[in-house]
Amino acid sequence: AQSVSQHNHHVILSEAASLELGCNYSYGGTVNLFWYVQYPGQHLQLLLKYFSGDPLVKGIKGFEAEFIKSKFSFNLRKPSVQWSDTAEYFCAVGPGIPTFGRGTSLIVHP
């Protein structure tokens, strides 16, 4: 079975700072990778996903993630964060029923 680890539990940034959230997974086969975002009081929304092809995946709201197979990583990045990016971010890994990481809480100060 697959497992996923998000090392950063809490991240605090100022607006315009660059963001990188770590996600590492453990699985020996072909993986499906996802990042979800949960804004305060709202449901989880899919930010981006990787199944195959270009390892650099672009998602909504200016987010991107890079799949590095040799490092078993799928880190989420954004070059310049905004206050509205304050949320909980979850990495998830398949195949099959995705396993979710514990989440990273991002707070962006205006």
Partner 1 sequence: DSGVTQTPKHLITATGQRVTLRCSPRSGDLSVYWYQQSLDQGLQFLIQYYNGEERAKGNILERFSAQQFPDLHSELNLSSLELGDSALYFCASSVGAGFGYTFGSGTRLTVV
Separation between Cα atoms, residue 74 and residue 93, nearest integer Å: 9
Q: Among residues 19 and 31, whose Cβ is nearest to partner 1? A: 31
Among 5, 8, 32, 86, binds partner 1 (CB under 8 A): 32
> Any contact of residue 5 with partner 1 (CB under 8 A)?
no
Q: Residue 21 Cβ, how far from partner 1 at the closest point, in Å?
A: 15
Site residues for partner 1, window 79-98 (CB under 8 A)?
90, 94-98
Provide the 3-class DSSP secondary structure of residue 84: helix
> If we measure between CA atoms, which residue out of 70, 69, 85 comes closest to residue 21?
85
Residue 29's CB: how many other CB atoms inside 10 A?
A: 6
Separation between Cα atoms, residue 65 and residue 61, nearest integer Å: 12
Site residues for partner 1, window 33-72 (CB under 8 A)?
34, 36, 42-46, 49, 51
> If we measure between CA atoms, which residue out of 8, 44, 4 comes closest to residue 24?
4
Among 81, 101, 104, 108, binds partner 1 (CB under 8 A): 101
Site residues (CB under 8 A) for partner 1? Answer: 32, 34, 36, 42-46, 49, 51, 90, 94-103
